[in-house]
Structure 1
Amino acid sequence: MSTERFARFADFYPFYLREHADRRNRRLHFIGTTLVLVCLWRLFATGQPVWLLNGLLCGYGFAWIGHFFFEKNRPATFKYPLYSFMGDWVMYADIWRGRVKL
């Protein structure tokens, strides 16, 4: 894990992308984030709080599998929780825009 400290998200995001260099990891993040959106939709549609738990399990579960098995690194979430959360959504949007390859 890097010892860098980041004062701004704009400085953190390039580091975040380097931590997601393996395409399989990015794919798992993409699947997990998509499932989070499905779970949020189900939460609002049903009002059942279990969907919030399901969303957390999908989002973090898929991401952490990608880091531990493919990247062989420690998720940045442990050191930069807010920036990592933001980074996941920005990377997700960048994948849809074609700026980050799946």
Structure 2
Amino acid sequence: MPTVLKEKEFASFAEFYPVYLSEHSNRTCRELHFAGSTIALLCLGALILTGNFWWLLGALVSGYAFAWIGHFVFEKNQPMTFKHPLYSFMGDWVMYWQMLTGQASF
């Protein structure tokens, strides 16, 4: 009988984040993440200014579309969002902040 491998469980975000970063070694993938997250923030700003909730859809689509293109086309791996959605979402914003402040490279 084939052995079924259990998906890796992380005890904490601190344990997850280094693995998350290792899945973003391609520069273009990181740049696409940053661009998508920036557009998502702009869409959220437009939502606040206009009250039009279509901007929320724009934020979600831009954030995930840019990241997924980065993974499937450049990084050639599956986004961690599919198996660890909350930690992955948190990781996106930590990585974004680190790139914005120069703590991590583009």
* TM-score normalized by the length of structure 1: 0.96
- Which structure 1 segments of 5+ residues have no match? none
Deviation at 1:4, TM superposition (A): 2.3
Q: CA deviation at 1:85?
A: 0.2
Corresponding residue of 1:67: 71
1:44 is aligned to 2:69 = no
Report sequence identity in percent.
58
Q: CA deviation at 1:7?
A: 1.3
1:5 corresponds, among 9, 16, 19, to 9
Q: For 2:98 and 2:17, locate their aligned partners in 1 and report how far apart those are by CA, in whole Å.
A: 12
Using the alignment, how far apart are the partners of 2:84 and 2:75 within structure 1? 17
1:18 maps to 22
- Which residue number corresponds to residue 86 of structure 1? 90
- The RMSD of aligned alpha carbons is 1.1
| Aligned length, in residue pairs | 101
User: Normalising to structure 2: TM-score of the pair?
Assistant: 0.92
Task: State how far apart, in whole Å, the 1-side matches of 2:69 and 2:47 are.
Answer: 24
1:58 aligns to what? 62
Q: Secondary structure at the match of 2:24?
A: coil
- Show structure 2 runs of 5+ residues with no match: 1-6
Query: Counterparts of 1:42 and 1:49 in 2: how far apart (Å)?
Result: 9
Partner of 2:25, secondary structure, is coil
Larger Rg: 2
How many angstroms apart in 1 are the aligned matches of 2:51 and 2:17? 34
CA offsets, 1:31-71, max 9 Å, x none?
A: 00000100000000000000000000000000000000001
Alpha-carbon distance in structure 1 between the residues aligned to 2:53 and 2:103: 34
TM superposition shift of 1:5: 1.4
Instruction: Specify the alignment match of 2:31 in structure 1.
Output: 27
